Amino acid sequence: MKPTYSTLFLSLLASTEAISLHKREHGLEPRVMSVPIQRRQIDNPLAHDRKRLNRRAGTVNVGIDNEQSLYFLNASIGTPPQNFRLHLDTGSSDLWVNSVNSELCDTHANICAESGLYNANKSSTYEYVNSGFNISYADGSGASGDYVTDTFRMGEVSIKDLQFGIGYITSDNEGVIGIGYTSNEAVVDQPDPEFYKNMPARLASDGVIASNAYSLYLDDLESATGKILFGGVDEQHFIGDLVTVPIMKINDEYSEFYVKLQSINSGSEIVGEGLDLGVVLDSGSTLTYLPSSVTDSIYQLVGADYEEGQTTAYVPCDLANQGGNLTFKFTSPAEITVPLSELILDFTDITGRQMSFTNGQAACSFGIAPSTSQVSILGDTFLRSAYVVFDLDNNEISLAQSNFEATGSHILEISKGKNAVPSATGSDGPQSSGSENAAGSLSPLGSTGAVSILAGAMALTFAWFLI
């Protein structure tokens, strides 16, 4: 999820250089926090993505879950601990959870049970801050309530008196852990905003990690888990070298993870050249959103069915087995290759039935959609193919090709300051020319001719069948 702005003023800073990594001396373990993340299946990624915000030497290793295509991590808040499953979001900056007194959860208790409900009365470390918590989304949904502080636990790490929001009036059953710039916190909309240190900033200031930086590894579409490393990188999870590009400013300040996208190609076929386009790296967006002039060229290349007014394009599911990829090129020499198979997403109805075209072919949605605003986003359909380091202290992003075949781990700490040690080199990864990470090109596949639009509505005519 990411903030939107009426006008964007973007400027580049610094040149491409290597990220600063550090092997600690005297055999000390790197200050890195590793957290597993999980992916959760959602029925309508487009509807989710429309809920955009209206405004906008240690390592911590955390796992994340993946269920195509929201990513979550597990944490607890309070004393004694109350457990939560939180939506991981690089496109926002506030941690917030539903209150046990949330109107939404009180009416529909079952939809909030899995994510967790916060009961301030049951925590001895709860402290009230103010009633200024208010996040609003572009579709009018959001959450409002109190800012409070309490003890936050993730893995073996505890943060005392971490500020977060608790929602009493909400329209979302999922709690969110925003890990972006503090300048992008919801308080930015208040007359005299009082920004606070969010979770990554607290990890750095408390000395749990050496600098406010973290790396994200989502793994491929088939994987149910990934990992976020606060304060470090894992050399086994990427291929080649990390290449660093500058984050771009918005309205003369750093508030989001904007980088410059220069071109997109598939082998010798150019589908976007001389773009000079600011794009946001946003783990809270399930799809990738680009200008229609770019998506039109991509749809023509892959033979996707799309008509103006549709929210996304549709392709035969077996397109995932035909090879090929798209290469996204940033400030030279940074580039990421996305296999076509990572862009083909299951398309089912609310009962889980597979959708099909009227000719009987199984229908899947395509992971790149036209942007409906001035903002272009590289969401999870791009990020799964990239190993990304978000360096908030130095206002830089480092990119490398994700290693889908990673089995081991070799963690390095991201030190404070710039250029402390030479750049890290990732694992060689699979070398077979048949690897989906290898370069390749797409051939136009032609249209199935089996999709119809009903009088300007976004309704598709499909044949239905059970799988």
User: What average pLDDT does this structure show over 89-116?
Assistant: 89
Range of weakest confidence among 79-83, 175-179, 271-275: 271-275
44: pLDDT strictly greater than 70: no
229: pLDDT strictly greater than 90: yes
Whether 333 and 325 have beta carbons less than 8 Å apart is answered as no
- Is the domain of 253 the same as that of 215? no
How many folded domains does the chain comprise?
2
For the chain, give the mean pLDDT. Answer: 80
Range of weakest confidence among 40-54, 191-205, 325-339: 40-54
SS3 382: helix
Query: Which CATH number is 137's domain given?
Result: 2.40.70.10
**How far apart, in Å, do the first and last CA atoms of the chain sit?**
32
What is the pLDDT at residue 273? 85
3 occurs within a structural domain: no
- Supply the DSSP string of 77-95, one letter for each residue: ETTTTEEEEEEEETT---E
C-beta atoms surrounding 152 within 10 Å: 24
Mean pLDDT is highest, among 38-42, 43-47, 85-89, 360-364, for 85-89
- Is the domain of 136 the same as that of 171? yes
- Is the domain of 220 the same as that of 244? no
Instruction: Say which residue the tokens 């976020």 belong to.
Output: 228
Which residue among 169, 198, 232 closes a domain? Answer: 232
What is the pLDDT at residue 452? 29
- Is the domain of 416 the same as that of 433? yes
SS3 337: strand
Share of residues in the chain with pLDDT > 70 (%): 76
- Is the domain of 403 the same as that of 381? yes
The CA distances from residue 65 to 103, 139, 180, 282, 406, in Å, are 28, 27, 19, 16, 17
SS3 32: strand
Clarify whether 219 is annotated catalytic.
no
451 occurs within a structural domain: no
Which residue among 167, 202, 232 closes a domain? Answer: 232
Instruction: Give the tens place of pLDDT for each residue, 421-452.
Output: 236 555 555 443 333 333 344 443 444 433 32
For residue 389 the two structure tokens come to 């380091």
- Is the domain of 70 the same as that of 187? yes
Whether 161 and 78 have beta carbons less than 8 Å apart is answered as no
User: What average pLDDT does this structure show over 190-208?
Assistant: 93
The phi and psi torsions of 200 (rounded to 5 degrees) equal -65, -40
User: What average pLDDT does this structure show over 32-39?
Assistant: 87
- Is the domain of 244 the same as that of 364? yes
16: pLDDT strictly greater than 70: no
For residue 15 the two structure tokens come to 């040149």
Q: Which residue has the higher pLDDT, 308 or 123?
A: 123
Cα(427)–Cα(437) distance, integer angstroms: 13
Select which of 234, 282, 305, 391 is catalytic.
Answer: 282
User: What average pLDDT does this structure show over 307-312?
Assistant: 79
User: What average pLDDT does this structure show over 100-110?
Assistant: 84
15 occurs within a structural domain: no
What is the pLDDT at residue 423? 64
Which residue among 232, 262, 279 closes a domain? Answer: 232
Instruction: Give the tens place of pLDDT for each residue, 147-181.
Output: 999 999 998 899 999 999 999 998 888 899 999 99
What is the pLDDT at residue 384? 96
What is the pLDDT at residue 230? 94
- Is the domain of 325 the same as that of 221? no
277 occurs within a structural domain: yes
- Is the domain of 394 the same as that of 296? yes
What is the pLDDT at residue 43? 53
Cα(340)–Cα(303) distance, integer angstroms: 12
Instruction: Give the tens place of pLDDT for each residue, 328-345.
Output: 999 989 999 999 999 999
Instruction: Say which residue the tokens 């580049």 belong to.
Output: 12
What is the pLDDT at residue 120? 98
What is the pLDDT at residue 144? 93
Cα(86)–Cα(83) distance, integer angstroms: 10
Q: Which residue has the higher pLDDT, 418 or 391?
A: 391
Whether 113 and 104 have beta carbons less than 8 Å apart is answered as no
Instruction: Give the tens place of pLDDT for each residue, 46-77.
Output: 555 554 434 433 456 666 554 445 789 999 99
418 occurs within a structural domain: yes
Instruction: Say which residue the tokens 């800012």 belong to.
Output: 147
What is the pLDDT at residue 140? 53
Whether 277 and 263 have beta carbons less than 8 Å apart is answered as no
Q: Which residue has the higher pLDDT, 67 or 194?
A: 194
Clarify whether 206 is annotated catalytic.
no
The CA distances from residue 339 to 176, 305, 384, in Å, are 29, 19, 10
State the alpha helices, DSSP H only, in 127-273.
199-205
Select which of 89, 172, 234, 305 is catalytic.
Answer: 89
Structural domain for 174, as ranges: 29-232
- Is the domain of 414 the same as that of 356? yes
Instruction: Give the tens place of pLDDT for each residue, 365-376.
Output: 999 999 888 889
User: What average pLDDT does this structure show over 392-407?
Assistant: 93
User: What average pLDDT does this structure show over 127-138?
Assistant: 85
452 occurs within a structural domain: no
Q: DSSP code of 413? A: E
Q: Which residue has the higher pLDDT, 382 or 29?
A: 382
Whether 427 and 262 have beta carbons less than 8 Å apart is answered as no
Cα(158)–Cα(156) distance, integer angstroms: 7
92 occurs within a structural domain: yes
3: pLDDT strictly greater than 90: no
- Is the domain of 318 the same as that of 407? yes
25: pLDDT strictly greater than 70: no
- Is the domain of 206 the same as that of 302? no
Which residues neighbour 156 within 8 Å (Cβ) at sequence distance 6 or greater? none
12 occurs within a structural domain: no
